[in-house]
Amino acid sequence: QKEVEQDPGPLSVPEGAIVSLNCTYSNSAFQYFMWYRQYSRKGPELLMYTYSSGNKEDGRFTAQVDKSSKYISLFIRDSQPSDSATYLCAMSASGGATNKLIFGTGTLLAVQP
Amino acid sequence: KAGVTQTPRYLIKTRGQQVTLSCSPISGHRSVSWYQQTPGQGLQFLFEYFSETQRNKGNFPGRFSGRQFSNSRSEMNVSTLELGDSALYLCASGLGLRGTEAFFGQGTRLTVV
């Protein structure tokens, strides 16, 4: 079993929809949780960075962490065609110290105009 | 502020050869970590360097090695290339402290023929 599980999709939604992306994990040592966005043939771009349980909002993006359920989510409001990309969740026990991130396989999102 | 720079962007090598990839981190960042991204395995951690010392290492064979220079620039070397080494190699830089983020470069796409 992988440490981090993520539905690979693809997920197709109409423009303006609310998108929900999720990951589950098995390692209770994870304390730092990230979401990256990766466009085709580009490097991952950091979207959200959270510590422990709770919610964090940044513009149209909201990240949620539920450590008791070992479950994290990313919500995208008012989705745009430019949001079409692969979304990767990543986790770490030590945060920036050693920067060993464990990634999900990524969810491919397509936002249709 | 310039981002993480990886060179070259593309490489084609023959089985059995060796290859060196380069990464220049964001100015002020002392941590550089390397990842391999393949369609089958996703993003996997190779190793991380902080102030010229390897702090952490993933589960890759000894053919994969790296180093970091005093200006924080890092190189990764793969010897005796195999077809399975074909991948996108990503470098991430950060402050290297607990609770700080990692920022990725655009990657080097290595093809082994």
Q: What confidence score (pLDDT) does residue A69 get?
A: 95
pLDDT tens profile A11-68: 999 999 999 999 999 999 999 999 999 999 899 999 999 998 889 999 999 999 999 9
- What residue has token string 């110290």? A97
Query: For B27-60, how does the pLDDT look when each residue is reduced to its tens digit (9 = 90+)?
Result: 999 999 999 999 989 999 999 999 999 999 999 9
Give the span between the Cα atoms of A86 and A10, in whole angstroms: 9
User: Among B45, B97, B105, whose Cβ lies nearest the Cβ of A43?
Assistant: B105
pLDDT tens track for B63-101: 999 999 999 999 999 999 999 999 999 999 999 888 889
Which residues of chain B are within 8 Å of residue A51 when distances are taken between CB atoms? 99
Hey, what are A111's tokens?
Answer: 């936002």
Question: CA-CA distance, B104 to B95, in Å (whole number)?
Answer: 13
pLDDT of residue B99: 81
- Tell me: pLDDT of A2 over 90: no
**What secondary structure letter does DSSP report for A29?**
T
Tokens of B95: 């402050």
Mutate to test the interface with A, among B104, B106, B109 (most CBs of A within 10 A): B104
